[in-house]
Amino acid sequence: MVCKDENGRFKQFGVTSWGLRSNDKNAPAIYVNIIFHQEWIESITGIPLT
C-alpha cells in the first residue's frame, strides 16, 4: 500500500498480506502496517525506511 505522506511524497505504508484479486478496489484485501516491523525490515535490508 502506497500513500502520500504529509509532504506529498509517496511512501510505502503497508504490504498486502492477503487478497482475492490484485488491483481490484472492490475485492477484499488485508494489509500489514509496516511501521510495526520497521526496525526488523531495516536490520534485514540495511535500508532506512525514514
In a domain, 28, yes or no: yes
Please tell me the distance from the alpha carbon of residue 13 to that of residue 5, in angstroms, as a whole number: 9
The number of folded domains in the chain is: 1
Please tell me the distance from the alpha carbon of residue 39 to that of residue 22, in angstroms, as a whole number: 28
User: Using one digit for the tens of pLDDT, what is the confidence trace for 12-50?
Assistant: 878 888 887 767 778 888 888 888 888 998 999 998 877
Pairing type for strands 10-12 and 2-4 reads antiparallel
Domain that holds residue 13: 2-45
Q: Which residue has the cell 509496516?
A: 34
pTM, full prediction: 0.53
In a domain, 27, yes or no: yes
Residues in the chain: 50
In a domain, 32, yes or no: yes
In a domain, 13, yes or no: yes
The most distant pair of C-alpha atoms in the chain lies apart, rounded to whole Å, by 36
Please tell me the distance from the alpha carbon of residue 3 to that of residue 30, in angstroms, as a whole number: 16
In a domain, 23, yes or no: yes
In a domain, 50, yes or no: no
In a domain, 15, yes or no: yes
